[in-house]
């Protein structure tokens, strides 16, 4: 099973390498208008949300007994790939559109969004682990001797709050990068 999983990851990686290169060149290009970049970014975000919804749909509820393995793995692997493309595109998009107002908005609102998403991840994880009867090392737990990533706990690791958290960190990193870049450009001009 492990070999098959690694083979599937490598295969998907090679399938997505061409779109990844195209999107990188698309978001780094100065000729492409911002509206097209925004539309592509929204499309990538929607694709991530569809994959998250699919993972949620294939995750088994805590009160149900499952013997089918983890079918959500079929969506988790593409989710990683699409999320990587989305976050890279988000970084380049915000690096280009950062200005004084956007930086102010980022510095005021983004920490709150990041903290909220972290608190929701923690709260939802704690609730699910409680409903399962404990973690994988708890003998009375439904997931006893399972790995942490299993058919019951997919939504702990792959959810909308994780996407919001990673998007917030990416935008924050883009703001820091663009601020340092503009400071370096100002020093060069002097």
Percent of the chain whose predicted confidence (pLDDT) is above 70: 87
Which single residue is written with the structure tokens 């990851």?
Answer: 9
Q: 137: exposed, middle or buried (C-beta count within 10 Å: 0-12, 13-18, 19+)?
A: exposed
Q: Under the phi-then-psi rule, with left for phi > 0, alpha for psi from -120 to 50, and beta for the rest, what region is 133? A: left
Tokens (6 digits) for 26: 């698309």
Helix (H) or strand (E) holding 2: helix 2-28
Task: Convert the pLDDT of each residue in 95-153 to its tens digit.
Answer: 888 776 777 777 788 899 999 999 999 999 999 999 989 888 888 888 888 888 888 88
pTM of the full structure: 0.82
């Amino acid at each position: 099973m492990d070999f098959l999983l690694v083979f599937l990851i490598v295969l998907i990686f090679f399938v997505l390498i061409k779109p990844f290169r195209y999107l990188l060149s698309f978001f780094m290009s100065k000729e492409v208008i911002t509206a097209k970049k925004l539309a592509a970014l929204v499309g990538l975000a929607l694709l991530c949300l569809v994959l998250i919804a699919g993972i949620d749909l294939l995750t088994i509820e805590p009160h149900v007994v499952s013997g089918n393995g983890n079918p959500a793995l079929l969506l988790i692997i593409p989710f990683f790939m699409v999320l990587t493309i989305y976050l890279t595109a988000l970084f380049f998009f915000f690096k280009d559109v950062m200005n004084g107002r956007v930086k102010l908005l980022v510095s005021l609102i983004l920490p709150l969004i990041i903290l909220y998403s972290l608190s929701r991840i923690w709260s939802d994880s704690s609730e699910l682990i409680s409903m399962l009867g404990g973690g994988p090392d708890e003998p009375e737990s439904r997931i006893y001797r399972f790995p942490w990533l299993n058919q019951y706990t997919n939504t702990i690791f792959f959810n909308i709050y994780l996407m919001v958290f990673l998007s917030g960190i990416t935008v924050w990193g883009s703001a820091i990068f663009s601020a340092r870049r503009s400071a370096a450009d100002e020093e060069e001009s002097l």
